[in-house]
């Protein structure tokens, strides 16, 4: 959510970034509602002044023994009108909030302007894609032949885009999870969290998933609880509505969770295998910090995610998303794309975003700055925190990348050395 005062002062800038983000938004309608709200508030204040003055006159009249009936009737009419206005103001404020919740975040000045993924900017590449002396198989064929992936039973138990992992496939998934958590907690300084996998509607509104992306979420109607699409939602909302102290920032959180998405807009895409699932595992990283440090923290968070791929020796590239391809709540996003030999191209495995104060305004999460040198009251004015999130990284896609990049001609898969301690010393799946 953006600051309405800022938008009113910078309408041209707002319209430019909306155009750059491929969004249609009726800014004039939003401002018209705000004008109506302001006019009603002004009328309400005038009525309150009249009511206060009338109350004084009634008191004087009663003290002097005069008939105050007419004055009291007038005060009653003013009070009734004030209640009507309060209800109108409340209704308009709900409309303003509903409109504002559908406004995307403003891109950072360093984000390249573009319409879609073709305009994204490649920052750099790490590692060289392996050259095979045989025709590499995709993960789905490998998984079925090795007996570690069962797509038929996944669909039987649920529907398509659900998968049963078995044996060493399940163990490798668990090994990847533990490896990533240990790395981020022990070396990168994150606090491990095990959050609920279901959240209230307010939490999803806080991170920007609602109301815009309701169709992509799974909901338990009877309880008004939603299955989380990513651990970003509970982690970022850990301080929903709180006032933090600057001395306690930044906060680093990491969590493993399953994630649930309908993939409503991906019909016909990546239907084979585990690349695009309705349920998948992920280790998520979230940071909460001050505005002054958020872009340094963004670079660090992205490097933390990259470290996973580097340790596992998986070739990848780093992409800065353009204005037209960024997520709804992001001010700047780096995507990490891992090399998949079967597709002969890079595919997204992590997305690391700085949302600035976009989510904090929706959550009502602020901080109290430490005293300035002079210790004045203005130094302690409450400010909104900045929030950042990133996959650290997607577990299923890491499993896919390992299987495809580490496969052998005989159909076996070599386990990367850093994962072997988590596999009880097992070095291959065959």
Catalytic machinery residues: 261, 276, 348, 351, 397
Q: How crowded is residue 417: how many other Cβ atoms within 10 Å of its Cβ? A: 11
CA gyration radius, the chain: 27
Is there a cis peptide before residue 345, judged by omega within 30 degrees of 0?
no
Q: Angle at CA 205, nearest 5°, toward 201 and 206?
A: 115
Give the β-pairing of 225-227 and 332-340: unpaired
Kindly list the distances between the CA atom of residue 316 and the CA atoms of 16, 75, 271, 312, in Å, as whole numbers in the listed order.
33, 72, 23, 11
Give the β-pairing of 191-192 and 251-260: parallel
Give 24's contacts (C-beta < 8 A, 6+ positions apart): 18
Q: Are the beta carbons of 112 and 237 closer than 8 angstroms?
A: no
CB-based burial label for 181 (10 Å; 0-12, 13-18, 19+) = middle
């Amino acid at each position: 959510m953006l600051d309405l005062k800022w938008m009113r002062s910078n309408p041209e800038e707002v319209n430019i970034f909306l155009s750059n983000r491929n969004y249609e938004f009726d800014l004039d309608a939003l401002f018209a509602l705000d004008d109506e709200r302001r006019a009603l508030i002004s009328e309400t204040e005038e009525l309150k002044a009249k009511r206060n003055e009338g109350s004084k006159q009634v008191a004087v009249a009663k003290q002097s023994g005069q008939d105050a009936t007419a004055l009291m009737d007038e005060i009653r009419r003013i009070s009734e009108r004030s209640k009507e206005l309060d209800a109108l103001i409340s209704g308009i404020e709900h409309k303003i909030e509903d409109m504002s919740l559908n406004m995307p975040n403003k891109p950072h000045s360093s984000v390249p302007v573009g319409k879609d993924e073709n305009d994204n900017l490649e920052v750099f590449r790490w590692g060289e894609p392996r050259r095979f002396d045989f025709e590499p198989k995709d993960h789905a064929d490998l998984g079925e032949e090795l007996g570690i992936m069962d797509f038929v039973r996944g669909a039987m138990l649920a529907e398509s885009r659900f998968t049963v992992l078995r044996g060493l496939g399940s163990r490798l998934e668990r090994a990847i999870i533990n490896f990533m958590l240990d790395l981020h907690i022990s070396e990168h300084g994150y606090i491990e969290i095990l959050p609920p996998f279901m959240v209230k509607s307010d939490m999803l509104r806080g991170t920007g998933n609602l109301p815009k992306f309701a169709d992509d979420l799974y909901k338990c109607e009877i309880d008004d609880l939603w299955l989380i699409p990513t651990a970003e939602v509970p982690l970022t909302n850990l301080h929903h509505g709180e006032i933090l102290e600057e001395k306690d920032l930044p906060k680093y959180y990491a969590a493993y969770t399953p994630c649930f998405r309908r993939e409503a807009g991906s019909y016909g895409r990546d239907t084979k295998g585990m690349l695009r699932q309705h349920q998948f595992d992920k280790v998520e990283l979230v940071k909460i910090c001050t505005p002054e440090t958020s872009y340094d923290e963004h670079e660090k968070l992205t490097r933390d995610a990259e470290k996973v791929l580097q340790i596992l020796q998986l070739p990848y590239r780093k992409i800065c998303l353009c204005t037209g391809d960024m997520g709804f709540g992001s001010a700047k996003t780096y995507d990490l794309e891992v090399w998949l030999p079967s597709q002969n191209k890079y595919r997204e495995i992590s997305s690391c975003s700085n949302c600035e104060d976009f989510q904090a305004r929706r959550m009502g999460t602020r901080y109290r700055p430490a005293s300035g040198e002079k210790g004045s009251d203005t130094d302690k004015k409450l400010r909104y925190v900045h929030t950042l999130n990133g996959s650290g990284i997607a577990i299923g896609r890491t499993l896919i990348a390992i299987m495809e990049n580490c496969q052998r001609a005989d159909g076996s898969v070599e386990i990367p050395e850093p994962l072997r301690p988590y596999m009880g010393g097992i070095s291959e799946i065959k």
